[in-house]
Amino acid sequence: LGVLYANGQHGVQQNMKKAMKIWKRAAELGDLDAFSKLAYMYVSGEGGKVDKQKALRLYRTAADGGLATAQNNLAHLLLSLDEPHYLEAMNYYELAALQGLTCAEYAFGNYQNNLGRVDDARRWYARAAAKGHRESIAALENDNGMCVSEQSVLYWKSILNLGLPFAEYNLGAAYETGTFVERDLEEALRLYVLAASKGFEPANERLRTIGELLQVAETGESSTTK
């Protein structure tokens, strides 16, 4: 009901004071979502004046109660303060990310990336990218490193169904070289073709090389048979 008054939906006239009153009542009954919505009102000033301290207290109640959206919003608010609480914010981003909140997965991925923990960053980006998160997809596309760990190969596999050329290319490279997977030139070729068909130029370069490798392999098999 509070949302209806806040947004003016379904024939209900917008009334922020009524929305606040309803959410305050719900918060008194322990409703975590109500705490979070009240906090947002104090951050945005939609319920009156901006009061970040009140918003912090309300978000903390909801966040410490396990509400992922509140954990994410609290982290964002902590970073926006005149004296940002960076480590505390990252802790709340991680809690939200562990619950599968996409924007938090991306934010925590950025944190790991800033610390130079590339594999951890890729893991969080991949989780968000698998759900279509554009910024995470872009972060992975801009990762020019090859698949250097078993985790990396798993990341590319996890987002392969999205049809992203950089994932197809990197996984193709893993199959071509046998990096943390059994070497499979046919599978590498298939993946390179997929990436190349989308205009991913590095894949075209690898196609020329892998074609030669397959030809050599076939020639070797023919000689052995004879």
119, 92 Cβ separation under 8 angstroms: no
Cα of 207 vs its chain's centroid, Å? 31
181, 195 Cβ separation under 8 angstroms: no
Distance CA 11, CA 31 (A): 25
Residues 77 and 150 in one domain: no
120 in a domain, yes or no? no
Residues 90 and 148 in one domain: no
What's residue 221's pLDDT?
A: 54
Residues 90 and 155 in one domain: no
CATH number of domain containing 150: 1.25.40
Distance CA 207, CA 189 (A): 7
Percent of the chain with pLDDT over 70: 85
Residues 15 and 69 in one domain: yes
Domain extent for 29: 1-99
156, 174 Cβ separation under 8 angstroms: yes
Question: 129-174 pLDDT, tens per residue?
Answer: 989 899 998 888 777 554 446 777 887 887 888 788 888 998 999 9
pLDDT tier for residue 10 given thresholds of 50, 70 and 90 = very low
Residues 148 and 76 in one domain: no
pLDDT tier for residue 199 given thresholds of 50, 70 and 90 = confident
Assessment of whether the complete model's pTM goes beyond 0.75 = no
Residues 76 and 167 in one domain: no
Q: Is the pLDDT of residue 177 over 80?
A: yes
Domain count, the chain: 2
Question: 81-94 pLDDT, tens per residue?
Answer: 998 898 899 999 99
